[in-house]
Amino acid sequence: MGFIWDIVKKLLILFFGSTILAVVLYRYVPVYITPLMVLRLIEQKNEGKEFKMKHDWVSIGEISHNMPQAVVASEDNLFLTHHGFDMEQIEKAIEEAKEGNRHRGASTISQQTAKNVFLWNGGGYFRKGLEAYFTVLIELIWSKERIMEVYLNSIETGDGIYGIEAVAQENFGKQARTLSQKECALIAATLPNPLKHDSAHPSLYMRKRQLQILLLMNKIEQVNMGCKN
């Protein structure tokens, strides 16, 4: 029994040591590749598709100030004040699930960043537990600006497209720092399902969602992340 406990302790030390080190490292180092990017490449290979992975890391200062405003308005309007979790939205999601209603997304930008950088898509208590663990770590070790910077660079924004710079160049023919308010709102409108919704060819639904996000952007407090004006 003592031998098994020694192994467990060593594994726990290895897990906590390596994960904390990774979070500390990514506080300063750009995230050039994520598990999702690798999984998408594997999917492309299995489906016989041509490999496609467009990802250009840029600093938060090289992204239009409209972009953080748009994602906060559409994804997480308490981003600047919560500590990684929006308890009100979580409670609403639990209540709706109990009533058998449509599943509500309650993940904050911090949670999505933790998942994008360190984990994989999917459900299950184990993955959700890891997501909560990494969310706590990045909230403790990174600044809100850094969380936003990594989020805007790591999110899937189209088929084989990751981050705001790549989608700005691919779909709008410009750099992320020159994106307009409307273009940022349109990109934000795709984020729940960027493989279904294409910002280069927006549907009527996306145009309606874009308008909703624009209205919300004018209502919430200005999100100042050191981005380009």
| Per-domain boundaries in the chain | 2-219
Which residues 6+ apart lie within 8 Å of 100 measured at CB?
none
Please state the φ and ψ torsions of residue 84, each to the nearest 5 degrees. Answer: 115, -25
Using CA of residue 52, residue 54, residue 55, residue 56, what is the dihedral sign? positive
Q: How many residues does the chain have?
A: 229
- Per-residue confidence in pLDDT tens, the chain, 229 aa: 677 887 888 888 898 899 999 999 999 999 999 999 999 999 998 888 888 899 999 999 999 999 999 999 999 888 988 888 876 666 665 565 555 655 545 689 999 999 999 998 877 888 999 999 999 999 999 999 999 999 999 999 999 999 999 999 999 999 999 999 999 999 999 998 999 999 999 999 999 999 999 999 988 767 767 777 6
E strands, the chain, are 54-55, 156-158, 161-162
pTM: 0.89
Domain 2-219 CATH superfamily: Biosynthetic peptidoglycan transglycosylase-like (1.10.3810.10)
| Three-class secondary structure of residue 67 per DSSP | helix
The residues that bridge with 228 in the sheet, in sequence order, are 64
Beta 54-55 vs 156-158: how paired, if at all? unpaired
